[in-house]
Chains A and B, each alone.
Chain A
Amino acid sequence: MVLQSGTKRILKLTPDGLEQILDVLHKIGFETIGPTLGNDAIVYETIGSIDDLPQGWTDKQEPAAYRIIKRNDQAYFGFNAAPQSWKRFLYPPDRTLFRIRRKGKGLEFMEQEENTAELALIGVRPCELEAITIQERVFTSSEQRDDSYLAVRKKLFIIAVNCTSSGGNCFCASMNTGPHAKENFDLALTEVVNANEHFFIVEIGSETGLSVIHDVESAEPTEDEVETAAGLVRQAESQIRKLDLDTTPKLLSANLEHPEWDEVSKRCLACGNCTMVCPTCFCSTVEDTTDLSGKLAERRRRWDSCFTLDFAKVAGGNFRTSPRSRYRQWLTHKLSSWVDQFGKSGCVGCGRCITWCPVGIDITAEVQKITGT
């Protein structure tokens, strides 16, 4: 099988074929991470086979609400954005930066384990794929790059899964990030499941993707089958929520004193949930500790949130004490200044911040309120 550069080869795969792909990945040495059931939710964890996938389950998402429920079919990927994104695999919530030992009057570094994991992400949604690309830009585009991020990212194998239904809080269509994955994957699946058949349409996105699928049993899909899959994805484009990608950045930067910031801050608990579940939020803090003898010191990097009170604190005071200013920072950064910094919006429309906000603040509604006045 020869993949000509610039062309995308399309194949048809059975669930068994997907299992074979996992086997190939394992043989190469990849750890396969994918969706599975855990804690009454869909979680991304190490999976051994397609039996670990949340087959026959979906979720129901609303502002401040998430429930998993049974589907009427046996779809493997019939759910929407999981509570946690893939972010933690590339950018761990807690990472040791270095360990130092006292030696006489001096100091010396202790050896540190290198992150050698080769990860294959199974079931990355188009919005999540975009989120990975966005974080990649944050961590690797400036002069000083995050080496630990690069180490994992360079070895990453990605199987994307196109969405055939949208969750209650999804707005990827307006953000131009989904429901169809266009690039940056090794393989992309569209799942078709009905009374008669259950198969995947596979798009090959890279040479590695091609080599992985090379010896897997597959077939040429018919035009009808390809069209059926494409139709399902188009169906997922119908979403209630939306954001105007073109006007929002300027709208927000021009409305930094809008009364809505006061209004929303009356509801916002400044808990930071939105920043934790956001697949692009990248803020971190560092924590320094010593052991009891005081001879061994460690520095860890942890996820941080712009909602914490001491986020903008300096020796002489604190630049953002009010919840109003912290909510404004989060929203204007995500949707406006991110564009200035990295050339693109920091939002992919996955809707997690709406689902996991304990009081159900909806960022698309907030933008709408500022637009409407």
Chain B
Amino acid sequence: MQTQDLTESLHQHPFLRNMDQELINTLTSCASNVVFQEGNYLFHESEDARTFYLIRSGRVALEAGGSERGQIRIQTLGPGEVLGWSWLIAPYRWHFDAYAVEQVHAFAIDATCLRTKSETDWHFGYEMLRRFSEVLERRLEATRLQLLDIYGTVKGDKGEKF
């Protein structure tokens, strides 16, 4: 894919909606197209987080491993969503495994490249951070809702079975 095409298709990803052309251009220079086949891992827990992904199609499951229950799937991410922010915060290591439930097409953004550009271009850095904060906030909200286990049967003194 030509850089021009890449810029255009990046433009269409919801994460970058209404982003200035100039900033998209900056981002393009750190981006590449990637494909993961179904059943492959995009990354593993505790590996260096060198990239993050803007998913274009397919589905990725985040898995926590190492428990007696085996691999536990915590969340899935799909088209239009962002995968990974460990690249943003030192020591830049993944906390989960990312598994391709289906074939995944994504933009991979090189984190070192992005960090370097953010350090020199604060406007760009701020814009990226602002967009990531929004994703983080939404993700946290969803996690809290998930934590409530709202479909479970309530037991105990306030809602005992009756």
Contacts and interface: CB of A to CB of B under 8 A. Distances in A.
Interface residues of A, number: 7
B140 to A, nearest CB: 24
Contacts of A317: 154, 158-159
A313 B154 contact: no
Nearest to B161: A315
Interface string A304-343: 0000001001011110010000000000000000000000
A200 B159 CA distance: 57
Secondary structure type dominating chain A contacts:
loop
Contact of A310 (B153, B154, B162): B162
A78 to B, nearest CB: 49
B92 to A, nearest CB: 43
A321 B158 contact: yes
Nearest to B156: A317
A310 B161 CA distance: 12
Contacts of A310: 162
B159 A316 contact: yes
A316 B154 CA distance: 6
Interface in B120-162: 153-154, 158-159, 162
Contacts of A315: 153, 159, 162
Nearest to B162: A313
A356 B139 CA distance: 53
A277 to B, nearest CB: 28
Contacts of B153: 315-316
Contacts of A316: 153-154, 159
B148 to A, nearest CB: 11
15 contacts: A310-B162, A313-B159, A313-B162, A315-B153, A315-B159, A315-B162, A316-B153, A316-B154, A316-B159, A317-B154, A317-B158, A317-B159, A318-B158, A318-B159, A321-B158
Per CB-CB distance, the 3 closest pairs between chain A and chain B, nearest first, are: A317-B159, A317-B154, A318-B158
